[in-house]
């Protein structure tokens, strides 16, 4: 009989066949079996979560890591710690703003070395600039970049300048040849003015114009493209129309766009720094409708964590998203799909994002009924708010971790 390293049981496991009572058997860092809740599964360590849900660990795409005035290694340590607290078991770091910006293989290797201090695995997006050539892209991919990112306006750093249409098409063609995906910040620079308007004044038409440019370019070259972040709900129909004309286009939004209407923001809220901005309550409701639509083109939800702009959202992202989702009839399976399964599929991370045999044992114990008061002094946009849903415990490759990334007892100790 198989003896597992550990078994985690829950009456609400988000598995391949829905939210079911189940037991998850782990050996050598991977899920080896998913069986009935009461199955006889001998293990060295056993955790019974009861009614606390078991989710696949979130894969957070386009996470900002480097904070001003902080060493790169320390930035990754702090981001990894926040990720653990927020139920994120894999961070996919943005190429900018960071020093150095990840626009060449040498810079990527600098970040990889610094990220060794992170208590969660860190993967990287390569940056695409007007001067990026096909050899740069190939070198970045060979060095470990899991996808690429560009901007049609401000890419977050001087060495991540915006792309014009010709460079956008050329980059898409080169990435299609590499079978990679391009994430695009799709606000159009020309719609933002010179100098650009302030963050909170950026109009929805900047996203619309940028989205039109992305669709036109991708239609010509057949590239896989993911708009990140997507906020202007009035553009949802344009996004949805891309598929029927043969454009492989999807999008990511963030919990603060889904939870925080601009009318409710305090004058000093860090959410004012969001680019694109947090929009009206009417836009927020329409964005939810687009996200919850059948076969929605908005497939992923990421934290939008960006300490360089004062946005510390990683720790509260899962709870904030669940707070709003369950009020609208969303379920735990939706939460897992938006934050884990779809991001892993987007980037081709075959071992992540699902609770199924053969996948990494990246697991999150999540209490969907627990109420969480965000401290009033918290640097996040959720400061002073009450959220619903709490991360109780995290396992990375089967190893139970605590809030600082260290080993905490054994899984038999419970959540």
pLDDT in tens, the chain (415 residues): 789 999 999 999 999 889 999 999 999 999 999 999 999 999 999 999 999 999 999 999 999 999 888 999 999 999 999 999 999 999 999 999 888 999 999 999 999 999 999 999 999 999 999 999 999 999 999 999 999 999 999 765 667 899 999 999 999 999 999 999 999 999 999 999 888 889 899 999 999 999 999 999 999 999 999 999 999 999 999 999 999 999 999 999 999 999 999 999 999 999 999 999 999 999 999 999 999 999 999 999 999 999 999 999 999 999 999 999 999 999 999 999 999 999 999 999 999 999 999 999 999 999 999 999 999 999 999 999 999 999 999 999 999 985 444 433 333 332 2
Residue whose entry in the numeric block shows the structure tokens 């063609």: 173
The DSSP code sequence of 323-377 is HHHHHTT--HHHHHIIIIIHHHHHHT-TTSSS-STTSB--EEEEEEEEEEEPPTT
Buried b (16+ CB within 10 A) or exposed e, 12-33: bbbbeeebeebbbbbbeebbbb
Amino acid 407: pLDDT: 36
Beta bridge partners of 60: 91
* pTM for this prediction: 0.96
Tokens standing for residue 355: 């609770």
Residues whose CB falls within 8 Å of the CB of residue 237, separated by 6 or more in sequence, listed in order: none
* C-alpha dihedral (195, 198, 202, 207), degrees to nearest 10: 60
CB atoms within 10 A of CB 206: 24
Beta strands in 240-353 (DSSP E): 249-253, 298-301
Highest CATH level, class, for 57-347: alpha beta
Instruction: Give the position of tokens 């890591």.
Output: 65
Instruction: Please give the pLDDT value at position 135.
Output: 97
Q: Which residues partner with 357 through β-bridges?
A: none
Angle (CA) 250 251 254, round 5°: 160
Asked if residue 210 lies in contact with residue 188, where contact means CB atoms within 8 angstroms, the answer is yes
Note the pLDDT tens digit of each residue in 328-353.
Answer: 999 999 999 999 999 999 999 999 99
Tell which residue, 58, 35, 46, has the closest CA to residue 400.
46
274 by DSSP, 3-state: which?
coil
Q: Residues 6 or more apart from 257 whose CB is under 8 A from it? A: 229, 231, 274, 278, 279, 284, 287, 304
**pLDDT of 330:** 97
- 376-390 pLDDT per residue, tens: 999 999 999 999 999
What tokens were used for 316? 């509260």
Residue 253 contacts residue 229 (beta carbons within 8 Å): yes
Q: E strands of 52-144, at which residues?
A: 53-56, 58-63, 88-93, 122-127
pLDDT value of residue 24: 98
Q: Do residues 118 and 128 make contact, with C-beta atoms less than 8 angstroms apart?
A: no
Residue with tokens 């050899």: 135
């Amino acid at each position: 009989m198989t003896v597992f390293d550990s078994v985690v049981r829950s009456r609400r496991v988000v598995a391949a066949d829905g939210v079911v009572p189940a037991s998850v058997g782990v050996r050598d860092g991977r899920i080896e079996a998913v069986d009935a809740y009461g199955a006889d599964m001998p293990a060295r360590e056993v955790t019974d979560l009861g009614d606390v849900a078991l989710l696949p660990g979130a894969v957070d795409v386009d996470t900002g890591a480097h904070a001003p005035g902080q060493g790169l290694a320390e930035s990754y340590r702090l981001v990894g710690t926040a990720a653990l607290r927020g139920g994120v078991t894999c961070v996919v770091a943005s190429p900018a703003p960071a020093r150095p910006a990840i626009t060449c293989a040498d810079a990527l290797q600098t970040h990889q070395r610094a990220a060794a201090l992170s208590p969660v695995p860190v993967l990287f997006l390569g940056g695409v600039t007007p001067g990026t050539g096909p050899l740069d892209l190939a070198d970045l991919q060979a060095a470990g970049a899991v996808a690429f990112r560009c901007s049609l306006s401000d890419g977050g750093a001087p060495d991540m300048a915006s792309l014009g249409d010709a460079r956008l098409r050329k980059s898409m063609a080169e990435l299609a040849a590499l079978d990679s995906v391009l994430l695009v910040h799709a606000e159009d620079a020309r719609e933002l003015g010179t100098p650009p308007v302030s963050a909170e004044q950026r109009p929805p038409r900047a996203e619309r114009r940028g989205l039109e440019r992305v669709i036109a370019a991708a239609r010509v070259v057949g590239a896989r493209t993911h708009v990140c972040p997507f906020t202007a709900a009035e553009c949802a129909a344009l996004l949805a129309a891309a598929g029927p004309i043969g454009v492989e286009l999807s999008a990511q939004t963030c919990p603060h766009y889904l939870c925080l209407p601009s009318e409710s923001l305090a004058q000093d809220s860090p959410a004012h720094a969001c680019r694109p901005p947090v929009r009206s309550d009417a836009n927020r409701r329409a964005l939810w409708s687009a996200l919850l639509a059948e076969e929605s083109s908005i497939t992923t939800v990421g934290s939008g964590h960006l300490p360089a702009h004062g946005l510390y959202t990683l720790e509260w992202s899962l709870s904030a998203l669940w707070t709003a989702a369950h009020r609208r009839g969303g379920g735990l399976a939706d939460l897992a799909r938006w934050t884990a399964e779809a991001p892993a599929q987007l980037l081709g991370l075959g071992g992540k994002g699902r609770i199924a045999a053969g996948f990494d044992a990246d697991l999150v114990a999540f209490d969907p009924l627990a109420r969480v008061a965000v401290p009033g002094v918290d640097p996040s946009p959720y400061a002073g708010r009450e959220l619903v849903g709490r991360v109780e415990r995290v396992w990375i490759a089967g190893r139970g971790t605590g809030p600082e990334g260290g080993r905490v007892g054994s899984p038999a100790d419970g959540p």
